[in-house]
Structures are given as C-alpha cells and as structure tokens.
Amino acid sequence: MVKKIFRSNLAVTLAVLLAAFVLLMGFLYEYFSAISRGELEVLTDTLASAFDYGGVDALEAVVPDERRVTLIDGDGNVIYDSVVDAETMENHSDREEFIEATSVGVGESTRYSSTLTERTIYRAVLLSDGSVLRVSVSGYSVLTLTLGMLQPMLICALAALALSAFISSKTAKKIVVPINELDLEHPLENDVYGELSPLLLRIYKQNDEIEKRMEELRLRDRELRDITSNMKEGLVLLGEDGKIVSINPAAASLFDVKGDAVGRDFICVCRSTEVTGALEKAKFEGHSETRYEKGGSTWQLEMSRTESDSGSTGASGAGTVLIAFDVTASLSAEEMRREFTANVSHELKTPLQSIMGSAELLENGLVKDEDKARFIGNIRRESERLVSLIDDIIRLSRLDEGTDFTYESVDIYALAKEEVEAVSEIAARRKITVSLCGEETVVYGVRRLFHEILYNLCDNAVKYNVDGGSVTVSVGYEDGRVLLSVRDTGIGIPKEHIPRIFERFYRVDKSRSKMTGGTGLGLSIVRHAVLYMKGEIYVESEVGVGTEIKVLLPQQI
Ligand code: ADP
C-alpha cells in the first residue's frame, strides 16, 4: 500500500511537472513573440517614416545592426537589403507578407529555418511610392526554447521528484500506520478513518461467523477426543504426507510417544518396517493389516485409506486411518484352545489305550485266571478316570462358555460342612483328619461354583496329604472380603511349580496325580470359578510341610 501511494504521488508530481513545463513553455513563447511583434511594429513604422523622409539613404542610416531590413519594389524586386547584397536576391513577389502588404497595406508572416531551430517574423508595409518595406526579426523556435530550458527543467524535476518521494513516503506511512494498528479482534472499537467503517463492520460480522464455526469445530474436536481417549483401541489419523493429524492416548502409549505427536512424521514415531510397509500398502490398495508386538502383547493393526472433501473449499486429500486392537488375549485363548484340544486327546487316549490293551488280553485268553481280577480292576479304574476326566472337561467348558449361572444367597459355611463330610470318609481311610472352622457366612453368589471350589480344594488337600495328616477348612471374613481357605499338612508344592498349577492338565507329579485319579483340571476349574465371581486366589506352600489355598471374594458379587 505504501508503495502504491508512493507511486501514485510520484506519477501525479511528474504529470504536474510536465503540464507546468508545457504551459510555461507556451506562455514564454507567446510572451516573447508578442514582444518581438510589438518591437517589429514600432521599428517598421519608424523606418517607413525615415524612408518617406529621405529615401534609401535615410533608411540605411537608421537601420539597427541586429535587424534585417529589405526594400522591395512593386514587382517584387529587391532594391535594398541591410544584410545581403540586393543584386543577388531573388524576386520576392511570392512572399506572403509582400502579397498581403501590397493588397492591404500591412503584411506579416512567420517562417522557420530548415532545422526548425530559428523562427523569423516578417512585417511588411506598403510605402507611399508603391514599394514595400520589410523588417524581420529572428528568434528562438519552440524547439530551441524547449531544448534550452531542458536542463534547468530537469534539475527542477529531479528536485521535485526527490521532494515528492520524501513527502510521499512520509504521507503513505502516516496513512498506513493507523491501518496497521487496527484491532481486528474488536473491529468496531477502532476510531480510524470513517471510510473504513463498512470494512470494519464486515470484518466484525466475519469474525463473529468464524468464532461460531470455531466453537462448533472445538465442540466436535472435544467430542472426538473424549470418544477416542476412552478407547482401548489405538487410533491414529495420518495426513496425505504421512504426518500425524490425531493420535489417541492408547495409540500414544502403544508407540511410546512422548509429548505432542501431532504434526510429526509417523515414521519417526513407529520405526517398524512391517507397519510402515503396511501403511504404504494401505495408501495404494485402500486397506492393509499387520501385527505389532510390544511388551509381550500382540496388536492387530488395521489401516485404511481415507478420502476427505473439504466442503466449500472443494479441496480434497487422502489420509490413512490406523486402528490398533490388542489381540493378545484372543491369541492366547486360541493357543490355549489348541493346547487344550491336544491335551484332551492325549489324556483321553491314555486310559482308552490301557482299557483296550487289558480288554484285548482278556478277550484272547492271554491272562491267567489269578490275574484277571487285576486286569478287570484296571479297566474299571481307567474307566473311572475317563468319566471324571470327561466330567471335568464338561465343567470347564461350561465355565469357558461363560454360562449364565444363577446367583443366590449361599451359606458357604454350610456348604463347606457338606464337603468336609463328603471327603471325611476317604480321609479317614488314610487317617487324615478334616476339620472346619469359622461361622455362618452368607454370600450372594453361585452355589454350584462354590461347590466346585470347595470340592476340588478339599479333594486335593486329602489327595496330596500324608497318611495321618490333617486338613483345615476355614470360612469367614478377612479385610471386608469373604475368606475361604483349605490348609493341609501334605506333601507341599515346590516353589517353581506354584505359578503353573492352575494351568489345564498341569500336574507337579504326573504319576502321583494319576494314581490318585487326578485329571490335572481341578485347580483350573477352581480358578475359573473364583474369577467368575470376581475373586482372587492365593497359594502358600512348602514342600514336606503343607499347602494353603486361600480364596477371597467380594461380599456382594
Ligand atoms: P489333579 O487333578 O492332578 O489334582 P489339579 O488341577 O487339582 O489336578 O492340581 C494340579 C496339581 O497341583 C496337582 O497335580 C498337584 O501336583 C498339585 N496340587 C494341587 N493341590 C495340591 C495340594 N493341596 N498339595 C500338593 N500339591 C497339590
């Protein structure tokens, strides 16, 4: 703007200067012409009087040096010339001033030199004897005058231009300063040029509109952030250039992003070649997926290309949206299912093979009579094992399926009493004492699951006990939670095995477990049941001393 004002001012100055120059030149030219003509008129009349008085001699005597005087007879022949020899001069009958003078008494004309640098004014008067007296005066032509004035005029123009430039820049700055200092946040509060009022009003309205839109955007952004920040899944939006547009906390923690990652290249955040390769693929093919391992967890990354239209602006851009799902649990569940199936097949196959072997030997009469009872006993034991194994598998799969169990008020003390009585008979055979301590403890839970817990724990406490040992079942409260504990004085569990005893089919001593009819599923069922009722389970054990398995459950499940 300053430049524009400066340029306009300069142009006006130049135009004014040029016009002034032309006017001045015209005025000077006219002024000097008028002087010359006046002088010529006086001189012509004086010389005519001199000629009338004394002829050519009188004329010669008064002719001024710097003027040219010519005397022409009525036919146009030059009789006398003050500058050139009259004899050599041509006939002047065709001269404009001569013709005019002979017809009206006075004639005047102006002629320019061939180079246009000189102008001569001729004035002729008809004398009383019929001859014509012509006086001429030469002066500068407009061109000469213009060329002569050019240098001073140029100096003037330069000075004027410099001054104009100085004033223009000062003025322009003075005009622009209040505009630059406009408070565009509050346009109506500005006290500046009245001409700017419509503009300020429009800015005010547009500011208002922008503020409304911004508020809407902020609201949407907040909504989106609220949704995405509470998502367990990681969500990353990438721009066309691969820069992060948005990243939710789950994704930020997945990719170990510290601080604000918006605007950063995703490749700097996640350097995994699989992920960047998948992103490239999604860019070209529209969709891709890959796995990402972190801290023992496996994440499934799904990437899709997005096309966005920026509404009114009509601009469009392609970005990529990345969603990360933690698939560790489902992968391990899958792995567990696979392992379980393999284990089940194996566990079922062993007793079946034993049954088949015994049956075949009996069938072929290869067993001595005295051994038959042992073989048949073996078939019965293995069949019992199969039945209990299948029972356990069915129970476990019900828990796995998450069957909806019925919740009710259960007195677990009374339930424990029944279990104690149930195992007491087998325990008595090995001189193991089973006792129950505690009080009536009513819990709102699943009766069946409590039964599974108590049955399996009591069964193990007897199974893995020493002859003459003891089992203590306690029911009550601990730290505001319901406590259920089964303690024995049995063989104990070596420390390194404790973390694994809840795994399916895990047995510390396979042969002992099988001998006692164990399936390796009892504690898995217990753990499942406890977790189903949102409880926790703890094991304390020492080899040769005994084991205590404690279950803590919330009072209101
Ligand atoms: P099982 O049917 O073999 O008893 P469980 O799942 O009930 O299977 O128990 C897993 C393993 O944990 C057992 O094989 C046994 O080695 C060990 N165990 C469980 N309870 C006790 C206990 N009270 N004392 C010693 N070892 C135990």
* Pairing mode of beta strands 470-478, 433-438: parallel
Atom of ligand 1 nearest to the CA of 517: 2
pLDDT tens digits, 517-549: 778 899 999 999 999 999 999 999 999 999 999
Residue 532 in contact with residue 449, Cβ under 8 Å? Answer: yes
More confident residue, 510 or 88: 88
pLDDT at position 313: 43
Cα 199 from Cα 192, distance rounded (Å): 12
pLDDT at position 315: 44
pLDDT tens digits, 68-87: 889 999 899 998 888 888 88
pLDDT tens digits, 296-313: 899 999 999 987 655 444
Residue 64 in contact with residue 152, Cβ under 8 Å? Answer: no
Cα 331 from Cα 300, distance rounded (Å): 10
If you measure from the C-alpha of residue 4 to the centroid of ligand 1, how many angstroms do you get, rounded to a whole number?
Answer: 95
Q: Kindly report the protein residue whose alpha carbon is nearest to atom 8 of ligand 1.
A: 520
Helices (H), 364-446: 369-401, 412-429
Atom of ligand 1 nearest to the CA of 507: 14
* Pairing mode of beta strands 433-438, 297-309: unpaired
Q: Which amino acid is located at 209 in the chain?
A: E
Atom of ligand 1 nearest to the CA of 486: 23
| Upper half-sphere CA count for residue 488 (Cβ side, 13 Å) | 27
pLDDT at position 356: 94
pLDDT at position 311: 46
Q: Kindly report the protein residue whose alpha carbon is nearest to atom 16 of ligand 1.
A: 508
Largest CA distance in the chain: 197
- What H or E segment, with its residue span, contains residue 513? helix 510-515
Q: Mention every residue, 6+ apart, whose C-beta is less than 8 A from residue 101.
A: 107, 124, 125, 126, 132, 134
For a mutational test of ligand 1's pocket, the pick from 344, 392, 460, 542, i.e. the residue with the most ligand atoms closer than 8 A to its C-beta, is 460
Burial of 14 from C-beta contacts in 10 A (0-12 / 13-18 / 19+): middle
For a mutational test of ligand 1's pocket, the pick from 392, 466, 513, 530, i.e. the residue with the most ligand atoms closer than 8 A to its C-beta, is 513
pLDDT at position 56: 81
DSSP 407: P
Would you tell me the crossing angle of helices 369-401 and 328-363 to the nearest 10 degrees?
A: 160
> Percent of the chain, pLDDT > 70?
97
Atom of ligand 1 nearest to the CA of 461: 23
pLDDT at position 170: 83
For a mutational test of ligand 1's pocket, the pick from 493, 503, 539, i.e. the residue with the most ligand atoms closer than 8 A to its C-beta, is 493
Q: Mention every residue, 6+ apart, whose C-beta is less than 8 A from residue 387.
A: none
Q: State mean pLDDT over 208-225.
A: 92
pLDDT at 177 over 50: yes
Q: Which two tokens stand for residue 198?
A: 């419509």
Q: Mention every residue, 6+ apart, whose C-beta is less than 8 A from residue 379.
A: 355, 358, 359
Atom of ligand 1 nearest to the CA of 502: 6
pLDDT at position 308: 65
Residue 236 in contact with residue 250, Cβ under 8 Å? Answer: no
Residue 530 in contact with residue 551, Cβ under 8 Å? Answer: yes
Residue 243 in contact with residue 266, Cβ under 8 Å? Answer: yes
If you measure from the C-alpha of residue 523 to the centroid of ligand 1, how many angstroms do you get, rounded to a whole number?
Answer: 7
Q: Which two tokens stand for residue 348?
A: 């079922």
Cα 64 from Cα 51, distance rounded (Å): 14
Q: Which amino acid is located at 260 in the chain?
A: D
Confidence band for 2, pLDDT divided at 50, 70 and 90: low
Name every protein residue with a CB atom under 6 angstroms from any ligand 1 atom.
456, 460-461, 464, 488, 490-493, 501, 506-509, 513, 518-524, 547
- What H or E segment, with its residue span, contains residue 549? strand 546-553
If you measure from the C-alpha of residue 493 to the centroid of ligand 1, how many angstroms do you get, rounded to a whole number?
Answer: 8
CA dist 513 → 350, 380, 453, 463 (Å): 14, 17, 18, 8
If you measure from the C-alpha of residue 305 to the centroid of ligand 1, how many angstroms do you get, rounded to a whole number?
Answer: 53
More confident residue, 379 or 20: 379
- Ranking 144-148, 387-391, 404-408 by mean pLDDT, the lowest is 144-148
pTM over 0.75: no
Q: Kindly report the protein residue whose alpha carbon is nearest to atom 7 of ligand 1.
A: 522
pLDDT tens digits, 467-496: 999 999 999 999 889 999 999 999 999 999
Confidence band for 152, pLDDT divided at 50, 70 and 90: confident
Confidence band for 429, pLDDT divided at 50, 70 and 90: very high
pLDDT tens digits, 123-133: 999 988 888 99
If you measure from the C-alpha of residue 519 to the centroid of ligand 1, how many angstroms do you get, rounded to a whole number?
Answer: 9
Confidence band for 551, pLDDT divided at 50, 70 and 90: very high
| Burial profile 220-242: b = 16 or more Cβ within 10 angstroms, e = fewer | eeeeeeeebeeeebbbbbbbeeb
pLDDT tens digits, 80-127: 888 888 888 899 889 999 999 999 999 999 888 777 678 888 999 998
DSSP 556: B
For a mutational test of ligand 1's pocket, the pick from 523, 540, 542, i.e. the residue with the most ligand atoms closer than 8 A to its C-beta, is 523
Residue 320 in contact with residue 279, Cβ under 8 Å? Answer: yes
If you measure from the C-alpha of residue 489 to the centroid of ligand 1, how many angstroms do you get, rounded to a whole number?
Answer: 14
Cα 513 from Cα 456, distance rounded (Å): 13
Strands (E), 283-413: 287-294, 297-309, 316-326, 408-411
φ, ψ of residue 312 to 5 degrees: the values are: -60, -30
